[in-house]
Amino acid sequence: MALGLPSVLVGSWTDDDAATGVTVVLPPPGTLGAMAVRGGAPGTREAAALSSTGAGVECHGVVLCGNSVFGLSAADGVVRWCASQGRGLDIRDSIVPVVGAAVVYDIQSPDSERPTAAAGWAACEAASADEPATGRVGVGRGCTIGKVAGRDFSVPGWLGAAVERSGDVVVGALVAVNALGDVIDTDGTMLAGCTAPPGAERYPHDPVEAIPGFTGRGTEEPESPERGNTTIGCLVTNARLTKPEACRAVDLAHTGIARAIEPPHTNFDGDALFLLATGEVDTQPDLVAMLGAAAVARAIRSEIVS
């Protein structure tokens, strides 16, 4: 089942030619939504409404997109699909879906095809309760990691998934790994990441100006570094949580990023996590946070791509 919960649907749309994609998570009606950002350069939608200070409670979908801010167009298609299915808030006889989204930067060239609303709709049409496809699919298609010594020394990233359980409580995580840093094991050894030779300048030990090609990938016109990285994801749980509890739990789940990526949450990453709580099991929010952090770390390490 998708991320350990039979009521949750996950689907992806992949563009192999442009090396980008879209992944969508669709929860059952009445699901509470929350999100937290720890990276310094996020690209998001509905972040304010789903944050700890926002009034938004119910969430009808989460979209993880490639192509930076251009990819947010895919969320329009998810909103339209949800409305067509009656998934949303009933406001003055209109169905108004609340759909959160976050992006990674994977643009290959200015002429690459962009994900559109049609891509978001297609991801919804492909969504199912089956175990989701992972690796170089959907939002994971164009991800890269290990860019601390410049993008020319990076390696492919991925879309990873993992599920953690304690008694009746289930927390699943779906994570797109496009980090500036390296993926590390529990003992701190590198599992995948920067291929630069020993002694090469690396951020944050050296200033970005001293690192050849810190931004861009084999280009003479480097892109702004804050747009080149990001680890984003969506957690789902059957726990019953209040909005403040859910926001705290998803914020603490970022600990999983810090466990599995070195360095995490830099000024050049847009790390963002969503949490969807279906509200079926009473439990402590700290248990959700603990399981969430473990699931995020395992999801990040789950798809080592050579």
Q: Tell whether the model's pLDDT for residue 217 goes beyond 60.
A: no
Write down the pLDDT at residue 215: 56
Distance CA 20, CA 141 (A): 5
How far CA 12 is from CA of 114, 172, 183, in Å, comes to: 15, 17, 24
With cut-offs at 50, 70 and 90, classify the pLDDT of residue 228.
low
Distance CA 183, CA 261 (A): 5
With cut-offs at 50, 70 and 90, classify the pLDDT of residue 204.
very high
- Using DSSP bridges, classify how beta strands 155-156 and 182-184 pair: parallel, antiparallel or unpaired: unpaired
Q: Tell whether the model's pLDDT for residue 30 goes beyond 90.
A: yes
Q: Tell whether the model's pLDDT for residue 109 goes beyond 90.
A: no
Closest CA to 26 of 291, 274, 247: 274
Q: What percent of the chain has pLDDT over 70?
A: 95
Q: Tell whether the model's pLDDT for residue 305 goes beyond 70.
A: no
Spell out the SS3 assignment of 37-72: ECCCCCCEECHHHHCCCCCCCECCEEEEECCHHHHC
Distance CA 3, CA 132 (A): 8
Q: In this structure, what token pair is assigned to residue 282?
A: 């009473």
Q: What percent of the chain has pLDDT over 90?
A: 78
Average of pLDDT values for 157-181? 97
Q: Tell whether the model's pLDDT for residue 218 goes beyond 80.
A: no
Question: Which range has the worst mean pLDDT, 145-154, 156-165, 220-229?
Answer: 220-229
Q: Tell whether the model's pLDDT for residue 219 goes beyond 90.
A: no
Domains of the chain: 2-301 (3.60.70.12)
- Sign, CA dihedral 134-10-264-184, equals negative
* Mean pLDDT score across all residues of the chain: 91
Average of pLDDT values for 233-256? 97
Average of pLDDT values for 150-179? 96
Closest CA to 240 of 32, 56, 36: 32
Structure-token match 């996020």, residue found: 42
Please, is 229 exposed, middle or buried when counting C-beta atoms within 10 Å of its C-beta (0-12, 13-18, 19+)?
buried
Query: Cα Rg for the chain, rounded, in angstroms?
Result: 18
Summarize pLDDT for 123-144 with one digit per residue, the tens.
Answer: 999 999 999 999 999 999 999 9
CB burial string 198-209: b at 16+ within 10 A, e below: eeebbbeeeeee
Q: Where are the alpha helices (DSSP H) in 137-238?
A: none
